[in-house]
């Protein structure tokens, strides 16, 4: 590696990659590459995140600092270890983080900085010649970035779609906790027992045929099914050991309405469909993703991995039980045979869905197969899970489906799996231990009272902002004396905001809270980086912004209160 002076007075690294040598930026016109970077971020907002692939000599940083404000953050991925070590010594800005590009950890690092409030305010740039010199690394980097971006984006989409039903399901399901067994009790109870996770992809029909053929072998396997597959399994004379239902909508009730009298344990969480959980007569198993964070009595309860589909949860439950290998059946993540689901797992509600096929991926046989962004995202999430647990816990994963290739889960025929994986150990059925003791109605009203207190705080903040805006003076917050009454009012306003956004109770608001923060930032707190200093110090501007904040906060809290009251009347 050599540092070469460019013709326009900068410095660039000359490196060897493979058998060839490359300049990491233009050795004649380095300033052109800097201009390309600045052009990428020319409309940067005050809290934008900038992700750069390649630091080179770092001589573009000073130009970058000139267009940023104190709230902007820069994350630079460097694939060359020697350059990374040298670059660490040259960066002394707290807003800049230089990380070594490592394929195994890049996604984790991206998850740590990209979330559901900043994903749409993200700027990405490959500096100079990095995308060409380190082409393979850059392509993998962008694949990981796409996955993280989609995860953050989809959380807002889900918040928009399900926010109302989430609130209703949460309140309704509180009443079912007393008749449920915590999933904690199943930790490692089936260590070494093979598990079959049955999903409803197009491969299910073929997988079910093999299960019927080798039905005598099933006693040696713990079978976990998503609720969509229950009908097909029972019609084929196969009883799963556990059914999992996490989707919130009423369609899930319809899928199981003819099987509410079954005695197969049903797994649910706070946002599962409340009518299904209420009416199902069999044993219920509770996994906590929310209440263990907000109710001291429940803080020891275990949650599960939620990767977007019920299959992710089924896989994690099997893993919690200590099962291995984990065998994925009907798990296509693609439109195998041109179908969106197995023929035996299609319901009337599927007619209203629009199943796009806008992507092509490699299938288990190395051929191309159609999929879409959502299914491919689910595949990426399960691959992420498999990679972690196959390395950390030495869990084996097998894919017996015929759809998209799942890295870390090699494809095998299910009939071959039945011949290979046998154990003398007996699988343990679900334990019944209803140890969750809570006052469901009391908690429901505690949540309702929290919402009412927040509404009152929003009304108080709204009045304070109106008072501040009634002043004719245009004061700067930077120049105000600490005993200034208007400054004291503004500090109090900020206290209301910080108290609301940091309270544990905000978790009860689910998608409403996430969508509120996203919308208010987009609609109101949307200043450019170049205007940050002047606008954040302007009392009038800030008061106007927070007036809008409290108005929107009050509106959504009143809607939440109404939904809660309706559910309380129906369920209690």
566 — pLDDT class (breaks 50, 70, 90): very high
What's the Cα-to-Cα distance from 317 to each of 176, 287, 299, rounded to whole Å? 20, 9, 19
In angstroms, the CA 552 to CA 524 distance is 11
Contacts of 348 (CB under 8 A, 6+ apart): 254
Q: Residue 159's pLDDT band (boundaries 50, 70, 90)?
A: confident
- Please provide residue 406's backbone torsions phi and psi, each rounded to the nearest 5 degrees: -115, 110
Site of tokens 């200093």: 533
> d(Cα 493, Cα 469) in Å, to the nearest integer?
13
Average pLDDT, the chain: 92
The DSSP call for residue 520 is: H
Strand pairing category for 359-362 and 368-371: antiparallel
pLDDT at 368 over 80: yes
CA–CA separation, 231 and 253 (whole Å): 12
91-131 per-position pLDDT tens digit: 878 889 999 999 888 988 999 999 877 888 899 999 999 99
Asked whether residue 402 carries a pLDDT value surpassing 80, the answer given is yes
Give which of 61, 80, 29, 71 is closest to 125, Cα–Cα.
61
**Those residues with Cβ within 8 angstroms of residue 307's Cβ, 6 or more apart along the chain or in another chain:** 313, 378, 381, 382, 384, 385
- Alpha-carbon separation of residue 16 from 21, 58, 318, 444, 476 (angstroms): 4, 19, 47, 64, 54
pLDDT tier for residue 203 given thresholds of 50, 70 and 90:
very high
Backbone angles phi, psi at 124, to 5 degrees: -125, 135
Residue 135 confidence (pLDDT): 96
Q: What is the pLDDT of residue 343?
A: 86
- Residue 28: predicted pLDDT: 96
Whole-angstrom distance, CA of residue 54 vs CA of residue 132:
11
Question: What's the pTM?
Answer: 0.87
Six-digit token pair at 134?
């380190």
What backbone phi and psi angles, to 5 degrees, belong to 496?
-65, -45
Q: Which stretches within 15-57 are classed as H helix?
A: 30-40
Using pLDDT thresholds of 50, 70 and 90, give the confidence band for residue 357: confident
In the predicted model, is pLDDT for residue 354 greater than 70?
no
pLDDT of residue 155: 75
**CA-CA distance, 425 to 185, in Å (whole number)?**
19
For range 171-188, the mean pLDDT: 94
- Segment 410-423 shows an average pLDDT of 93
- What is the pLDDT confidence band of residue 366, given thresholds at 50, 70 and 90? very high
Closest CA to 58 of 39, 36, 83, 22: 83
pLDDT digits (tens, 9 = 90+) for 515-549: 899 889 888 988 899 999 899 899 999 999 999 99
Average of per-residue pLDDT across 318-327? 96
The pLDDT value given to residue 513:
92
Rounded to whole angstroms, the maximal C-alpha distance in the chain is 84
The first and second tokens of residue 377, run together, are 């995202």
**Residues 294 and 447: beta-carbon distance below 8 Å:** no
Q: Which two tokens stand for residue 335?
A: 């439109």
Nearest to 327 by CA among 222, 452, 469: 222
Residue 304: pLDDT band with limits 50, 70, 90: confident
- What ranges in 257-372 are assigned the alpha helix state H? 274-279, 291-294, 310-320
What pLDDT score was predicted for residue 467? Answer: 94
Rounded mean pLDDT of 69-83?
A: 94
Percent of the chain whose pLDDT exceeds 90:
73
Angle among Cα 369, 371, 375 to the nearest 5 degrees reads 135
Query: How confident is the model over 186-196, as a mean pLDDT?
Result: 94
């Amino acid at each position: 590696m050599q540092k070469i002076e460019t013709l326009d007075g900068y410095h660039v690294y000359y490196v060897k990659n493979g058998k060839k040598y490359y300049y990491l930026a233009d050795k004649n016109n380095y300033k052109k590459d800097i201009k390309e970077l600045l052009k990428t971020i020319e409309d940067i907002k005050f809290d934008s995140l900038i992700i750069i692939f390649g630091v080179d000599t770092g001589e573009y940083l000073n130009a970058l600092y000139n267009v940023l404000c104190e709230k902007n953050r820069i994350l630079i991925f460097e694939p060359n270890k020697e350059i990374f070590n040298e670059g660490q010594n040259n960066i002394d800005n707290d807003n800049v983080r230089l990380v070594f590009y490592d394929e195994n950890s890049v996604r984790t690092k991206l998850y740590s900085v990209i979330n559901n409030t900043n994903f749409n305010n993200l700027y990405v740039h490959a500096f100079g010649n990095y995308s060409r010199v380190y082409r393979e690394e850059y392509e993998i980097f962008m694949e990981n970035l796409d996955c993280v971006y989609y995860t953050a984006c989809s959380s807002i989409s889900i918040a928009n779609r399900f926010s109302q039903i989430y609130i209703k399901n949460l309140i309704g399901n509180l009443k079912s906790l007393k008749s449920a067994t915590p999933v904690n009790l199943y930790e490692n109870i089936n260590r070494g027992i093979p598990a079959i996770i049955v999903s409803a992809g197009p491969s299910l029909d073929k997988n079910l045929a093999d299960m019927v053929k080798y039905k005598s072998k099933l006693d040696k396997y713990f079978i976990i099914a998503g609720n969509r597959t229950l009908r097909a399994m029972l019609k084929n004379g196969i009883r799963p050991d556990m059914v999992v239902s996490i989707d919130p909508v009423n369609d899930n009730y319809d899928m199981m309405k003819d099987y509410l009298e079954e005695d197969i344990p049903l797994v649910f969480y706070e946002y599962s469909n409340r009518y299904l959980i209420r009416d199902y007569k069999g044993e219920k198993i509770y996994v906590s993703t929310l209440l263990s964070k907000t109710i001291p009595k429940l803080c020891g309860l275990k949650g599960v991995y939620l990767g977007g589909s019920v299959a992710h949860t089924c896989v994690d439950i099997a893993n919690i039980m200590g099962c291995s290998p984990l065998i994925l059946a009907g798990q296509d993540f693609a439109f195998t045979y041109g179908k969106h689901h197995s023929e035996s797992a299609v319901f009337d509600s599927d007619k209203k869905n629009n199943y796009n096929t806008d992507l092509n991926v490699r299938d288990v046989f190395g051929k191309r197969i159609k999929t879409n962004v959502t299914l491919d995202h689910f595949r990426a999430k399960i691959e992420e899970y498999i990679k972690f647990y196959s390395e950390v816990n030495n869990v084996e994963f097998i894919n017996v489906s015929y759809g998209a290739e799942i890295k870390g889960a090699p494809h095998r025929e299910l009939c071959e799996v039945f011949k290979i994986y046998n154990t003398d150990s007996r699988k343990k059925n679900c334990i019944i231990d209803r140890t969750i003791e809570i006052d469901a109605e009391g908690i429901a009203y505690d949540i309702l009272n929290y919402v009412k207190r927040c509404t009152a705080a929003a009304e108080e903040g709204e009045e304070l902002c109106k008072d501040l805006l009634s002043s004719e003076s245009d004061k700067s917050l930077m120049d105000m004396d600490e005993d200034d009454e208007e400054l004291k009012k503004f500090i109090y306003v900020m206290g209301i905001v910080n108290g609301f956004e940091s309270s544990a109770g905000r978790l009860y608001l689910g998608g409403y809270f996430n969508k509120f923060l996203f919308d208010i930032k987009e609609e109101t707190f949307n200043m450019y980086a170049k205007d940050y200093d002047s606008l954040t110090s302007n009392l009038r501007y800030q008061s106007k912004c927070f007036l809008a904040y409290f108005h929107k906060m009050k509106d959504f809290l009143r809607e939440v209160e109404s939904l809660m009251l309706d559910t309380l009347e129906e369920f209690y």
